[in-house]
């Protein structure tokens, strides 16, 4: 029993240290080996994994046919718009509207999206818990995600 309590205390201390680093905004840290090897500073970049993702089941209605489907959407306040996956739009028969100019898509790491530029959008009504909102979603490659709801 003593061994388990010691392990829990060490894990708790590691979690407290990690939380302090994250609160201070530290994105790089000096490895212990670099400090021991004469102080040559090496920068190590860490990517922070989201601790929690917020998924919503939303209703999406086609404007032209007034036909609705239920879709699982990722709520992402860091995204700069509303997006629908190309395959989702095609599978459910949403009417695509061509954009005047293509929009270049950048991933979180700054690289270009493998699906290419955004060339189309869909207009639809989105329903969630009794609330309805008409919105335009850019159509692009989202992998396995059907819809991303971000900050427009």
Is there a single domain that holds both residue 60 and residue 20? Answer: no
pLDDT, position 33: 40
Residue 111's Cα: distance from chain center in Å?
A: 15
The Cα 88–Cα 103 span in angstroms is: 19
The Cα 78–Cα 108 span in angstroms is: 9
Q: Which domain holds residue 10?
A: 2-45
pLDDT, position 37: 45
Query: Residue range 118-142: average pLDDT?
Result: 95
Query: Residue range 10-17: average pLDDT?
Result: 65
pLDDT, position 59: 97
Q: Where are the beta strands (DSSP E) in 43-151?
A: 44-45, 54-62, 68-75, 82-85, 97-103, 118-128, 131-140, 147-149
Q: Give the rounded percent of residues in the chain with a pLDDT score beyond 90.
A: 46
pLDDT, position 50: 55
pLDDT, position 114: 82
Is there a single domain that holds both residue 32 and residue 99? Answer: no
pTM: 0.64
pLDDT digits (tens, 9 = 90+) for 20-49: 665 555 444 434 444 444 555 545 444 445
Number of domains in the chain: 2
Is there a single domain that holds both residue 74 and residue 93? Answer: yes
pLDDT digits (tens, 9 = 90+) for 75-114: 987 888 899 999 999 999 999 999 999 998 887 788 887 8
The Cα 9–Cα 20 span in angstroms is: 17
Residue 15's Cα: distance from chain center in Å?
A: 24
Is there a single domain that holds both residue 76 and residue 145? Answer: yes
Is there a single domain that holds both residue 28 and residue 66? Answer: no
The Cα 111–Cα 113 span in angstroms is: 6
**How high is the mean pLDDT of the chain?**
78
Is there a single domain that holds both residue 106 and residue 134? Answer: yes
| pLDDT of 143 strictly over 50 | yes
CATH for 93: 2.40.70.10
Tell me the two tokens of residue 25.
Answer: 């905004």
Q: Using the CB atoms, write b or e for 49-82: b if 16+ within 10 Å.
A: eeeeeeeeebebebeeeeebbebebbebeeeebb
**Between residues 10 and 149, which one has the greater pLDDT?**
149
């Amino acid at each position: 029993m003593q061994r388990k309590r010691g392990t829990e205390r060490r894990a708790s201390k590691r979690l407290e240290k990690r939380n302090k680093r994250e609160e201070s905004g530290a994105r790089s840290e000096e490895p212990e080996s670099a400090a021991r090897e004469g102080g040559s500073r090496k920068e190590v970049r860490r990517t922070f994994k989201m601790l929690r993702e917020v998924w919503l089941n939303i209703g999406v209605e086609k404007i032209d046919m007034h036909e609705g489907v239920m879709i699982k959407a990722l709520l992402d306040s860091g995204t700069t718009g509303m997006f629908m996956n190309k395959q989702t739009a095609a599978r459910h028969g949403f009417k695509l509207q061509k954009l005047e100019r293509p929009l270049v898509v950048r991933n979180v790491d700054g690289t270009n999206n493998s699906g290419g530029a955004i060339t189309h959008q869909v207009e639809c009504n989105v329903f969630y818990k009794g609330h309805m909102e008409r919105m335009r979603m850019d159509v692009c490659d989202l992998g396995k995600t059907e819809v991303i709801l971000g900050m427009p």
